[in-house]
């Protein structure tokens, strides 16, 4: 199955195509160049767009005195609530410190403590201070700056900005050998071209825009995951959408990307209060306000529901040097009329991170030959049912390096794309975007039930009948949102338990029998199938 698009009018070639210019794409591109491969880097908007530049809290790695990869592993496994793949976690935590050192060698500058050592802070679920940060709360901006400078300095990396990748091109035997892409602004049909390569790496980030309120930027429409599904790849763990507990609440009419108040703010002393001004996390979890993210989000949701209020409060008023330590968050609070040094910050959960994605092995290979996936689009199994704070940037660094190494060792000849004229092509009308997001927020949000999920699925099925024949960016994006929303709801319906960030009001307990992951496939006619897989724990 493919999206409806014009016929490609032009062709470019490279050894490797990397789709996306966040931490995952940039790291993969740089490492592929180090292996002497020619790289085409395609990105949907300006090159620095994507979640990476918005990352606040930092990067987790066992670099502090007394810390070890094993301790980092323990915290990752606990946060992942029984569904982490042990091998993937081992790779993440053991290769993490070296990957961070390499990032520093590439030019990233992290904040220092008074001793001159790199300053380390704490976030939810971590039992140690192991989060490196930059510019206080602007870690992603620094990571993006440093990697971009290195990429732009490398003449072996061809960059195409403002180019939306639509679908995979595949050989007769199904191997991915390129992609179709549309250069935005070059006309709605004559902007389509094809990029051919011996390996394709999806690094298109998350899918937060499936929901009405999200911390994710507008480019996070899950295009790569949906494209992989249409190419026949398996996706896994997609029901585990992580809702960040502390997103600045403005008013109920706000939609799209919302300002984040980093978990690191709680790591440095901020306290959650309910509408009566009471601390509420202490009795809920031994780590109280710094419990893993899913636990804090659930408790906040419960507090809001019980009191019929749209948010709780974050108290930062006793914190010293808030403005200096968290300059980005300070500025975004102030621009919303809140002085965090004197006033409580209204916060509520919003969609933040896709713990699942395209199922890949330890080398980032999907279940379709020639197709690799890195970063938030991938499901390596390192996050299980709930990602540990600041493990995402780390995953992009670690697996970006592994993918390039694997590609360099196993590069096939360029394949010839086969266009199947009989293959089903769809394009959903962009007008369904808001109703789709509302249906997902209502039915598949922080807390779900069979009733709410079935209602969301029925709405999706109805919205999916709204088709268009006009290829355009908003239609391709909404079509991708539609496929992913369907996958999320299908998996969430199937998982009859509560675990990690999947919370069912009709199945409140975690069920040992569900220590399995749900895999979804889409066939060429658009039919879904799902299966279950044991987890390597
Ligand atoms: P992104 O950085 O999202 O990059 C995706 C790229 O793909 C973009 O360049 C985009 O334009 C491009 N793209 C998308 N679709 C297409 C298409 N069809 N064609 C071509 N290009 C396409 N994680 C941490 O570890 N620590 C943190 O402190 C942290 N803080 C966060 C704060 C915020 C506000 C947010 C939103 C996330 C945060 N995260 C954090 C999560 C983390 O930032 C992301 O998971 C990570 O940056 C994802 O990197 P990525 O390279 O996979 O994707
Ligand atoms: C944050 O700073 O709270 C976000 C960290 C993350 O998503 O890992």
Q: What integer is the mean pLDDT of 422-433?
A: 94
pTM score of the predicted model: 0.98
- Block residue for tokens 């990571």: 143
Q: What integer is the mean pLDDT of 404-423?
A: 94
Question: Ligand 1 centroid to 497 CA: how many Å?
Answer: 29
- What are the start and end residues of each CATH 1.20.58.100 domain in the chain? 425-509
- What are the start and end residues of each CATH 3.50.50.60 domain in the chain? 7-240+355-409
Q: What integer is the mean pLDDT of 412-441?
A: 94
Name the pLDDT band for 186 (thresholds 50, 70, 90).
low
Among protein residues, the one with the nearest Cα to ligand 2's atom 1 is 262
* Residue 279 DSSP one-character state: B
Q: What integer is the mean pLDDT of 197-206?
A: 98
What's the chain's average pLDDT? 96
pLDDT of 371 over the 80 cut: yes
Q: What integer is the mean pLDDT of 255-279?
A: 96
Among protein residues, the one with the nearest Cα to ligand 1's atom 11 is 44
Higher pLDDT, 513 or 191: 513
The pick from 22, 93, 141, 267 for probing ligand 1's pocket by mutation, whose C-beta has the most ligand atoms within 8 angstroms, reads 22
Polymer length in residues for the chain: 537
Distances, alpha carbon 146 to alpha carbons 14, 79, 109, 390, 397, in Å: 24, 30, 8, 18, 13
Q: Does domain 250-350 have CATH number 3.40.190.10?
A: no
Architecture of the domain made up of 7-240+355-409: 3-Layer(bba) Sandwich (3.50)
Beta carbon of 21 within 6 Å of any ligand 1 atom: yes
Q: What integer is the mean pLDDT of 444-456?
A: 97
- What are the start and end residues of each CATH 3.90.700.10 domain in the chain? 250-350
Report the alpha-carbon distance of residue 404 to residue 411 in Å, rounded: 10
The share of the chain scoring above pLDDT 70, in percent, equals 99
Torsion, Cα of 393, 399, 401, 403 (10° steps)? -140
Architecture of the domain made up of 425-509: Up-down Bundle (1.20)
Question: Ligand 2 centroid to 59 CA: how many Å?
Answer: 9
Could you tell me the two tokens for 528? 């879904």
Q: Is 387 a catalytic residue?
A: no
**CB-CB contact of 2 with 126 (8 Å):** no
- Report which of 204, 160, 210, 216 is spatially closest to residue 185, judged by C-alpha positions: 160
Contacts of residue 381, Cβ cutoff 8 Å, sequence gap at least 6: 83, 84, 85, 87, 88, 89, 236, 237, 517, 535, 536
Question: Ligand 1 centroid to 318 CA: how many Å?
Answer: 32
Beta carbon of 56 within 6 Å of any ligand 2 atom: yes
State residue 190's pLDDT score: 56
The share of the chain scoring above pLDDT 90, in percent, equals 96
State residue 420's pLDDT score: 83
Question: Ligand 2 centroid to 439 CA: how many Å?
Answer: 26
Question: Ligand 2 centroid to 263 CA: how many Å?
Answer: 6
297 HSE (CA, 13 A, CB side): 25
Annotated catalytic residue, options 198, 293, 490, 517 = 293
pLDDT of 86 over the 50 cut: yes
**CB-CB contact of 96 with 398 (8 Å):** yes
State residue 419's pLDDT score: 86
Beta carbon of 380 within 6 Å of any ligand 2 atom: no
Beta carbon of 263 within 6 Å of any ligand 2 atom: yes
pLDDT of 162 over the 60 cut: yes
State residue 462's pLDDT score: 98
Give the pLDDT confidence of 4-62 residue by residue, as tens digits: 998 899 999 999 999 999 999 999 999 999 999 999 999 999 999 999 999 999 999 99
- Block residue for tokens 């031994």: 286
pLDDT of 184 over the 90 cut: no
In sign, the C-alpha dihedral spanning 369, 374, 377, 381 is positive
Q: What is the CA radius of gyration of the chain?
A: 22
Atom number in ligand 1 closest to CA 123: 28
**CB-CB contact of 319 with 137 (8 Å):** no
């Amino acid at each position: 199955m493919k999206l409806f698009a014009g016929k490609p009018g032009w062709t470019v070639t490279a050894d490797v195509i990397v789709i996306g210019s966040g931490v995952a794409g940039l790291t993969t591109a740089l490492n592929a160049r180090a292996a002497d491969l020619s790289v085409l880097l395609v990105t949907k908007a300006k090159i620095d767009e994507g979640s990476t530049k918005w990352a606040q809290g930092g990067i987790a790695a066992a670099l502090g005195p007394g810390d070890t990869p094993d301790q980092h592993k323990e915290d990752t496994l606990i946060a992942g609530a029984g569904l982490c793949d042990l091998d993937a976690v081992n790779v993440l935590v053991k290769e993490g410190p070296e990957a961070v050192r390499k990032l520093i060698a590439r030019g990233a500058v992290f904040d220092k403590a008074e001793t001159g050592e790199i300053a380390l802070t704490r976030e939810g679920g971590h039992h140690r201070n192991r989060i490196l940060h930059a510019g206080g709360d602007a870690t992603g901006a620094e990571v993006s700056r440093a990697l971009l400078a290195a990429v732009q300095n490398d003449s072996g990396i061809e960059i195409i900005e403002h180019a939306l990748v639509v679908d995979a091109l595949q050989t007769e035997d199904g191997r991915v050998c390129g992609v179709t892409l549309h250069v935005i602004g070059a006309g709605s049909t004559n902007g389509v071209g094809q990029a051919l390569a011996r390996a394709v790496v999806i690094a298109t980030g998350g899918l937060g825009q499936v929901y009405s309120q999200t911390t994710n930027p507008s480019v996070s429409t899950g295009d790569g995951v949906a494209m992989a599904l249409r190419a026949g790849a398996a996706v896994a763990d997609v029901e585990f959408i992580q809702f960040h507990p502390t997103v600045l609440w403005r008013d109920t009419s706000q939609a799209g990307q919302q300002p984040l108040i980093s978990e690191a703010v709680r790591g440095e002393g901020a306290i959650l209060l309910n509408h009566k001004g009471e601390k509420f996390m202490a009795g809920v979890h031994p780590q109280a306000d710094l419990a893993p993210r899913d636990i804090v989000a659930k408790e906040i949701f419960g507090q809001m529901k019980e009191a019929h209020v749209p948010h709780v409060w974050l108290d930062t008023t006793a914190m010293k040097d808030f403005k200096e330590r968290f300059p980005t968050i300070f500025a975004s609070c102030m621009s919303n009329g809140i002085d965090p040094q004197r006033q409580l910050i209204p916060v509520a959960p919003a969609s933040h991170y896709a713990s699942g994605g395209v199922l890949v092995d330890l080398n980032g290979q999907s279940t379709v030959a020639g197709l690799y996936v890195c970063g938030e689009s991938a499901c390596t199994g390192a996050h299980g049912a709930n990602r540990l704070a600041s493990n995402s940037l780390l995953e992009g660094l670690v697996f970006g390096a592994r993918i390039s190494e694997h590609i360099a060792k196993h590069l096939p000849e360029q394949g010839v794309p086969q266009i199947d004229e009989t293959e089903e092509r769809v394009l959903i009308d962009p007008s369904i975007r808001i109703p789709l997001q509302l249906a997902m927020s209502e039915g598949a949000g922080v807390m779900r039930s069979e009733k709410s999920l079935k209602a969301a699925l029925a709405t999706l099925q109805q919205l999916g009948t709204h088709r268009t024949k006009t290829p355009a960016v908003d239609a391709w994006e909404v079509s991708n949102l539609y496929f992913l929303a369907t996958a999320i709801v299908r998996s969430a319906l199937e998982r009859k338990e509560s675990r990690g960030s999947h919370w069912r009001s009709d199945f409140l307990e975690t069920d040992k029998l569900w220590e399995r992951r749900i895999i979804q496939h889409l066939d060429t006619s658009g039919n879904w199938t799902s299966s279950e897989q044991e987890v390597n724990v």
